[in-house]
Amino acid sequence: MPPRASNKRKSNSSNSKPAKSARTQPPASTSAPKKAVSKEAGRIDQLFDSYANKSLRMIDPEGIEALCSDLGVAHTDVRMLLLAWKLNAGKQGYFTEDEWQRGLKEIQADTIKKLKTRLSELVKEIRDPRKFEDFYLYAFQYCLTEDKQKCVDIDTACVLLDIVIGSQFRAQVDSFTEYLKIQNEYKVINLDQWKGFHRFCNEISFPDLKNYDSSQAWPLIFDNFNTTHIIRQADSFEDYCRCTLIMQHLGSQGEFNEPFQYIHLLEYVV
């Protein structure tokens, strides 16, 4: 029989080695992801530095122009507005370092090549009605460049509508922006009117406007647009008379009471 001491040494040796190995084994599950995140953040920072104004520590209009050039898109391309939306940029024409870092991390773009791909994917993403509505409202607010500004001028509104919603509702945008340019009553567009146009595109049959009902709490601008559009589309004396009756009714309600508007519309349709 072997000595007990010898058995104890063997027993201790077999028990202690695995325990020691377990205590010294490095945690393999945490180091790799941290390094990957650190590298991604570093590349995002480098990308920011390549376009940022060094004194302002933000990407200014000149930097955005350079970014557009590298992305191969115009500054009026909807993808640049989508980028501002994803960055939740607060000031038109500028991206802060925090906005850039947070936004590019969210869309997982740490190189120009990846950013270009992600922007194309965002065009598809806003096909979701809820996401498009969020983007549509952001686009209006992004254009409010002054403190306490609540409206955008007609020219800006026309350009913005074309960029944001023109690809989905081309006929409606063309007709409405043409109306905005020839009318004389409205100098600016407010948020209620902006939201109303999105609703108009989704709910109203176009170009006949047969289901348009002015009693459904539409902003007045759409009542006037509706009348103008019907007159321009009139291809018979009967339609023309119907338009005239509509305008007379609006006038009796105090909603269309400036004679020059009526005369201008008649001249326009002729």
Confidence band (pLDDT; 50, 70, 90) for 38?
confident
Q: Please indicate, yes or no, whether residues 171 and 99 belong to a single structural domain of this protein.
A: no
- pLDDT > 80? residue 207: yes
The answer to whether position 33 is within a domain reads: no
* Residue 36's pLDDT band (cuts 50, 70, 90): low
Q: Which of 125, 146, 164 is the last residue of a domain?
A: 125
Residues 48 and 113 in one domain: yes
Residue 23 pLDDT:
45
| 76-98 pLDDT per residue, tens | 999 999 999 999 999 999 999 99
59, pLDDT greater than 50: yes
- Shared domain for 261 and 161, answered yes or no, is yes
pLDDT for residue 230: 81
Q: Are residues 58 and 103 in the same domain?
A: yes
Nearest to 71 by CA among 104, 136, 105, 120: 120
Domain that residue 67 falls in:
39-125
Question: For residue 222, is it within any domain?
Answer: yes
d(CA 212, CA 229): 12
User: Which of 91, 106, 125 is the C-terminal boundary of a domain?
Assistant: 125
In a domain? residue 30: no
Q: Which of 125, 150, 169 is the last residue of a domain?
A: 125
Residue 60 sits in a domain of what CATH number?
1.10.238.10
The average pLDDT across 200-204 equals 97
| 97 shares its domain with 187 | no
Do residues 151 and 245 both lie within one domain? yes
Number of domains, the chain: 2
Q: What is the pLDDT of residue 233?
A: 77
For the chain, the average pLDDT equals 83
pLDDT given for residue 194 in this prediction = 99
Is residue 219 in some structural domain?
A: yes
Are 72 and 169 contained in the same domain?
A: no
Tell me the pLDDT band of 240, cut-offs 50, 70 and 90: low
Distances in whole angstroms, Cα of residue 59 to Cα of each of 46, 69, 94, 110, 143: 13, 14, 5, 16, 17
Distance of CA 137 to the CA centre of its chain: 7
Do 56 and 142 fall within a single domain? Answer: no
Instruction: For residues 20-30, give the mean pLDDT.
Output: 48
Domain assignment present for residue 9? The answer is: no
- Residue 237 pLDDT > 90, yes or no? no
* C-alpha closest to that of 143 among 133, 132, 155, 131: 155
Q: What's the mean pLDDT in 90-111?
A: 97
Question: Is the residue at 15 inside a domain?
Answer: no
pLDDT tens per residue across span 250-264: 555 555 444 334 444
pLDDT tops 50 at residue 173? yes
What is the model's pLDDT at position 2? 40
More confident residue, 211 or 19: 211
Based on the fold, state whether residues 183 and 264 are members of the same structural domain: yes
* Residue 33 clears pLDDT 60, i.e. is over it: no
Average pLDDT over residues 107-122: 97
Q: Does 228 or 61 have the greater pLDDT score?
A: 61
The H or E element spanning position 121 is helix 112-125
- Indicate whether 233 belongs to any domain: yes
Both 179 and 52 in one domain: the answer is: no
Residue 112 lies inside a defined structural domain of this protein:
yes
- Can you tell me which residue has the tokens 């104890």? 8
Are 164 and 255 in the same domain?
yes
Give me the DSSP letters along 39-80.
Answer: HHHHHHHHHHHHHSBTTTTEE-HHHHHHHHHHHT--TTSHHH
Q: Which residues, including other chains, have CB under 8 Å from residue 3's CB and lie 6 or more apart?
A: none
